[in-house]
Amino acid sequence: TWAISRAVGKNLKVVLAGDGGDELWGGYPYYAIHNMGRWLPRNDHASGMDHPYDTSFSSRGRRILGDLKRNPNDLYRRWRHLDPNGSFWEKILREDFKSPGVEFPRSKSSGSPHDGLLERDVRFYLPSDLLEKVDTMSMAHSLEVRVPWLDPVLFEVVAHFPSTLKINGGITKWLLRKSAEKRAGWLPQSVLRAKKQGFAIPIHRWISNELAGLFHEGPLDRNSRVAPLMDLVSLRRYYEAHRAGHIRLGHALWAVLVLDIWLRQNGLEPS
């Protein structure tokens, strides 16, 4: 987002962005996963390895199969939490820096489980992650970003549509796609049928490869700025397990790396 804002800001001062469209119309893949898995028995802590035949799937296939069997609360945690099971932070943080217990947000929606997933993304993920990121990165380059999907009147109306009109089977943004199809010539079929493609970075690979040197010189160094906060032996164990492909902790390890860099850049030493 920072790089895009820098490039666009050289020639433009105001741009439109699609933020809010996924939360409003049901565009995230895990909405469809929950919809397709509603015929399967829900597990409190599905691992994707609950049946012998699960072992025949690739690691990605096992993750998807596990998601299909998760209840809505665990599915939301799996997609929106840096450490879904809580074990990473529990193991690496020193006792003085552990939280006494932060309850993961529950839905306030009185509608369907799908409505609950959308409602939590609107209440937490959209304002605290997406809009915060876009606002910070764009203003760093004096670029104003406007978000038409978040028009108060439009959002209020569409937010009350039943989720069955937004996610149909495995099709996300179903009503929005159908509306566009009715207007011949508005959008080509290649756009209407396109898969969701965000600006995700290959964070798992970067942490394992391109950023390995930086990680060893930073967080894993015995004199690192995060050393007072974390058990470096446990951190190294998790990092090596990630590099070996045994677990996927790219986002959590990225957070550790960013924290270490931020502390150094600002001359801070936790104690």
pLDDT of amino acid 97: 78
- Burial, 13: exposed, middle or buried (Cβ in 10 Å; 0-12, 13-18, 19+)? exposed
pLDDT of amino acid 133: 94
User: Which of 59-63, 246-250, 263-267 has the lowest average pLDDT?
Assistant: 59-63
Asked if pLDDT for residue 46 goes beyond 50, the answer is no
- Burial, 232: exposed, middle or buried (Cβ in 10 Å; 0-12, 13-18, 19+)? middle
Give the CA distances from residue 231 to residues 84, 95, 235, 268, in Å, rounded to whole numbers and listed in that order: 20, 10, 6, 18
Strands 14-16 and 144-146: parallel
pLDDT of amino acid 100: 56
User: Which of 16-20, 67-71, 246-250, 258-262 has the lowest average pLDDT?
Assistant: 67-71
Asked if residues 146 and 16 have their Cβ atoms less than 8 Å apart, the reply is yes
Angle at which helices 250-265 and 232-243 pack, to 10 degrees? 130
Confidence of residue 45 (pLDDT cuts 50, 70, 90): very low
pLDDT tens-digit readout, 202-247: 999 999 999 999 999 999 999 999 999 999 999 999 999 999 998 8
Asked if residues 160 and 12 have their Cβ atoms less than 8 Å apart, the reply is no
pLDDT of amino acid 34: 63
Asked if pLDDT for residue 135 goes beyond 70, the answer is yes
Residues sharing a CB contact under 8 Å with residue 3, sequence separation 6 or more, in sequence order: none
Confidence of residue 12 (pLDDT cuts 50, 70, 90): very high
Confidence of residue 193 (pLDDT cuts 50, 70, 90): confident
pLDDT tens-digit readout, 141-151: 999 999 999 99
pLDDT tens-digit readout, 74-124: 666 666 666 656 688 888 888 887 765 555 666 666 667 677 788 888 888
Strand, helix or coil for residue 70: strand
pLDDT tens-digit readout, 172-188: 889 998 888 887 677 88
Q: What is the mean pLDDT of the chain?
A: 81
CA dist., res. 26 & res. 6, Å (int): 30
pLDDT of amino acid 231: 94
Strand, helix or coil for residue 171: strand
Strands (E), the chain: 14-16, 144-146
Full DSSP string of 185-242: TSS-HHHHTPPP------HHHHHHTTTHHHHHHTTTSTT-TTTTTB-HHHHHHHHHHH
Q: CA quadruple 66, 70, 74, 79: dihedral positive or negative?
A: positive
CB atoms closer than 10 angstroms to residue 171: 15
User: Which of 43-47, 70-74, 186-190 has the lowest average pLDDT?
Assistant: 43-47
CA dist., res. 149 & res. 147, Å (int): 6
